[in-house]
Structure 1
Amino acid sequence: FLGRMLFSGEEATKKAKVLSGGEKVRCMLSRMMLTNANVLLFDNPTDHLDLESITSLNKALTSFKGTILFGAHDHEFIQTIANRIIEITPTGIIDKLMEYDDYIADEELQEKIKEMYNV
């Protein structure tokens, strides 16, 4: 079923063991979204995805009604999806309701973060 949703032609009948990393991720993400979960947990969800897949994922997650917890290195993905930034430092936690670019641009906050890492 997922193969027919994500691929065309003979590609739709591929066995899972022969899928590329990106294809496996696309199948997994599609399956998660079909289960109507209220929480999604991701670790670098854009790894192994091509630009088209990342764009589709961003679009799907921005309309997701539940909670999304994720760690990522993809700036555009973080800026698009995150509305709350939680950073765990050696000396405490920073928890801010703001967009990622605002979080990075806040000089006072960045100074506090720097102090929290300089134990």
Structure 2
Amino acid sequence: MKTIYALLTLIGAALPFSQFILWLTEYGFNFTLFFQQIIENPLAIFAWLDVIVTVIVIVFMVMNEGKNLKMKRLWIPIAASFIGGASVGLPLFLYMKQCHFEKIDLKRS
């Protein structure tokens, strides 16, 4: 599963950012236009609100599960969620969790 989570993290970063880069190429750093376009219709607002709520859930899940499992560097998937979105933060945390489990298993052996 670790390999799948790593691959999903890369895909989760590459796909959304490929579209954002296209937008930046066309419009530059026009943040006024950016915010106008992300709230210009109910479907866009729906998608952004879904992402925002999902990122909040991921942050609480990472903090809770990570603390219970005594994981380190929990700030990384949290930051990835805010910077890259849920499609980066969630699979990254799951990857880190698998690595943590493997490390625990190695110590027990």
User: Which structure shows the bigger proportion of residues in strand conformation?
Assistant: 1
Under a length normalisation based on structure 2, what TM-score does the superposition of the two structures give?
A: 0.27
Larger-Rg structure: 1
Under a length normalisation based on structure 1, what TM-score does the superposition of the two structures give?
A: 0.26
Whose RCO is larger (CA < 8 A, sep 6+)?
A: 2
